[in-house]
Structure 1
C-alpha cells in the first residue's frame, strides 16, 4: 500500500454542496484530461460519490499505443482493493453462521498443522483479514516464485501454497500480507462449500457488475492495458505479456472493474456505514481494528473517521477513500503506476477538491 492521501478535510463541506451540481462530471473530465497530459498517463478514471449521487469522469486511451478512448465501462485492474471484496465475502459467511472472526485457520484445515512454526497454530480469520497473522507478505515476485505449485485447480493450488507458507518464518504483526488473504479465502470457500472464484463471480453477477479476474486486457483487448517503465520509456503490456499474478491469488488482489460499478460498490459501503452500531458488519470491516481493519485501512483526521485502500501490481493503480460522516467517497483509476504517476493521482485529487471549492464559491457569490 502507498501513503495515505492527505486530504484537506476542511473542504468536505464544499464537496457536499457541489455534489448536487451537474457540472461535477465535467470538472472531473477536465481535471483528468489535464493530469494525463501533464504526467504521461495513458488513461485515468475517477468518481465522486455523495449520498445517492455518483459522478464519473474519464480521460485518455486504453493504452499509449491506441486511439480508443476509455469510458465508464472500461475495466481497470484494482489489485489489492480486491481485499475489500474478500472481507465482504467473509462477513457473508459470518452472517450465515458458517464462520466467525475467531475461527482458527487450523480448525478448518488441521492437515496444515506442522512443527516448523508453532506461531501459526492459533491464527484466526480475524488475524488474516487484519494483517496480524504474521505470515510472510508475498507482495514481491521473488517471494511468489519461491513457492512451488503443481496442482491444477485453484482450490488445490491454495492448499499447496498454504502448506509451504505456514512453514516459513513469521513477520511482525501488522505486516501487510497477500498470503494472509489467500489463507482467508481458503476459510471462506471451505465454509461456503464453493470455490472463492465462484463466490466472487456470483456476487458480481447478482449486482450486474462487469468484471474480470486478472488483467482486463487479457479478457478483452478493448479494456485498459497496464503500463510500466522499460529503458526509461512507458511500455504497454500486451495481452500475451508474461506478467500476471498467479490465479490462486485472486482474493489478495486480482479483480478488474470499471469505474461506474466500482463507485457503486463504494456507495454500498457508504450507505452501510450510516449505521453507526459497532456490531454492524460495515463498521466492523472498516473500523473495528485501528489502523488496518478487514480489507480497509482507517484513520482519523480533523476529528473525522475515514477509511481507505490503494491497490497496484505496478501496472495499474487504484485509490479509494470514504468519509462516512459526510456520505462521501472518492476513487481514482490509472493504467500506469510509476511513482510519478501515483503522485499525479494524489495531486489530481487535491486539484479536484480545490476546483470544486472555486465553483461553489462562484455559485454562492
Structure 2
C-alpha cells in the first residue's frame, strides 16, 4: 500500500492510554449532537472532503453522523449509509475468514509453508519453509512490507502477465517466497504480503477466490450486504464517496472509481481493498466483540481468542490488541487503521466497556491522519468515566 497506510497501520495503539478505564453513560440526544459537531469541526479544521463516524455501546448505535460531500467540487452530500474504503482494516476480515477454514480443518494455523504450498517448497528460500500460517497473519514471517513505490512496481511486474486474480496471487507467493526474507522470522515487521499469501493458500485449498471466501464466510453470515472490493461507486454518477488525492497545487481532487489508480491492484485485496458502509462494518466489529464474550456468530470463543492474542508486541492476527496485566487476561482494546492514500478508516473496540467506534474519511493525507486523531480524542474526552 501507499506509505501513508504503513504509517497509520503501524501506529495502532497510539490512543490506548485514553481508552483504558473509559465508562459511558446512557446515550442521549446530546451525544448525537456532540458527534455531529465533532465531525463538522474536524472537516473544517483539517480540510476534509467528508467524514463519518458511528459509536456503538452495548450493541446499540448511540450516535452516528456524516459530514461533507462525496466528491470535492460536487454537491452530493455523504450519508451514514455510504460505503468507505477501509484499507488495511481488511486484514481482520481476511484473518477471520481463514480462522473459519481452520475450524473446518481445511488448514491449520500451525501448518508450515512447505506443507501448505508443497508445489513451491523446493523453490522457496529455505528460511520460509518452516514459516507458519499464523506468522503470515501476525506480520512475523520476514516478508517485505509492500508499501512503497518501488515495492509496488515490482509487485505489478509479478502479476501483470496473468489477468486472473487467483493466478496472480499464486504468482505472488511463488515470487516472494523464493526471495530472501527482509527481516528476521519471528520479529514483527508489518507486511501486506503475508495476508496476500495466506489468502492464496486459502484459495488453493478451497478452489474459491478470496473475494468469494470473504462473501461466503464473513459477509453473508453477518448479513453484510452494503460492501464490495476496490473503490466504491460508479464512474457515471456520484452515488458513493470518492477517494481524494492532491494535485500539483496541493489541492484535493476526487479520484474516479474507474481510474486505474483509484485503488491498489485487485490481487492486493486480502491486505486492504474492502469498501463497506459503517453500519455493515459495525456488524463485523460487533461479532468480534461478541466473540470476546463467548457469543460470537462466526467462530468458537477459543478461536476469537487466538485472533485477538498478540503474537509479538501488540499485534495479533489482523488486529492491534492490548490486555490488562497477565494475571487478569482482560482484553481492553482491539484496533486497526488503514489507508490506500486516498482514504483513511479506523476501528476501536473496547470489550471491557462494550464500546465500538468506527470512523472514516475520503482522503488519506497528513491532514486526514490528524483529523482521525482529533475525532478519537474528542470522543474519548466525551465518554469519560463516572466520577
TM-score, normalised via structure 1 length: 0.90
Q: For 2:21 and 2:49, how far apart are their aligned partners in 1?
A: 29
- Residue 22 of structure 2, aligned match among 12, 15, 18: 12
After superposition, give the CA deviation of every residue in 1:150-187 in whole Å (9 maximum; x if it has no partner). 11211111111111111222122311111110110012
Q: For 1:208 and 1:324, how far apart are their aligned partners in 2?
A: 22
1:204 is matched with 219
Q: For 2:232 and 2:332, how far apart are their aligned partners in 1?
A: 33
* Offset, 1:300: 4.3
Q: For 2:211 and 2:276, how far apart are their aligned partners in 1?
A: 15
2:253 is matched with 235
The answer (yes or no) to whether the contact 2:47–2:367 under 8 Å persists in 1 is: no
The 5 Å alignment of 1:215-226 reads 215-217=231-233, 221-226=238-243
Give RMSD over aligned pairs.
2.4
The answer (yes or no) to whether the contact 1:221–1:239 under 8 Å persists in 2 is: no
Give the secondary structure class of the aligned counterpart of 1:331: strand
Structure 1 residues 67 and 11, CA, compared in 2 at 3 Å: closer, same or farther?
farther
TM-score, normalised via structure 2 length: 0.86
* Offset, 1:301: 7.2
- Residue 282 of structure 1, aligned match among 304, 308, 311: 304
Q: For 2:124 and 2:98, how far apart are their aligned partners in 1?
A: 28
- Residue 177 of structure 1, aligned match among 191, 198, 206: 191
- The answer on 1:79 being equivalent to 2:87 is yes
Q: Identify unmatched segments of 5+ residues in structure 1.
A: none
- Residue 299 of structure 1, aligned match among 293, 317, 322: 322
- The answer on 1:153 being equivalent to 2:164 is yes
The 5 Å alignment of 1:1-365 reads 1-3=9-11, 4-7=13-16, 8-9=18-19, 12-13=22-23, 16-18=24-26, 20-54=27-61, 55-114=63-122, 117-147=125-155, 148-149=158-159, 150-172=161-183, 173-202=187-216, 203-206=218-221, 207-217=223-233, 221-231=238-248, 232-243=250-261, 244-275=263-294, 280-290=302-312, 291-300=314-323, 305-357=332-384
2:4 is matched with none
Give the secondary structure class of the aligned counterpart of 2:352: helix
* Offset, 1:269: 0.9
Segment drifting more, 334-343 vs 201-210: 201-210
The answer (yes or no) to whether the contact 2:46–2:370 under 8 Å persists in 1 is: no
2:6 is matched with none
* Offset, 1:305: 2.5
Matched length:
357
The answer (yes or no) to whether the contact 2:114–2:120 under 8 Å persists in 1 is: yes
Give the secondary structure class of the aligned counterpart of 1:166: helix
The answer (yes or no) to whether the contact 2:40–2:67 under 8 Å persists in 1 is: yes
Give the secondary structure class of the aligned counterpart of 2:81: coil
Q: For 1:262 and 1:286, how far apart are their aligned partners in 2?
A: 18
* Offset, 1:352: 2.3
Q: For 2:383 and 2:333, how far apart are their aligned partners in 1?
A: 20
Segment drifting more, 160-169 vs 189-198: 189-198
The answer (yes or no) to whether the contact 2:39–2:67 under 8 Å persists in 1 is: yes
Q: For 1:279 and 1:72, how far apart are their aligned partners in 2?
A: 31
After superposition, give the CA deviation of every residue in 1:294-319 in whole Å (9 maximum; x if it has no partner). 11011247986212111011110011
Q: For 1:294 and 1:317, how far apart are their aligned partners in 2?
A: 20
Q: Identify unmatched segments of 5+ residues in structure 2.
A: 1-8
The answer (yes or no) to whether the contact 1:56–1:260 under 8 Å persists in 2 is: no
Structure 1 residues 43 and 297, CA, compared in 2 at 3 Å: closer, same or farther?
same
The answer (yes or no) to whether the contact 1:93–1:192 under 8 Å persists in 2 is: no
Q: For 1:160 and 1:138, how far apart are their aligned partners in 2?
A: 15
Give the secondary structure class of the aligned counterpart of 2:25: helix
* Offset, 1:114: 3.9
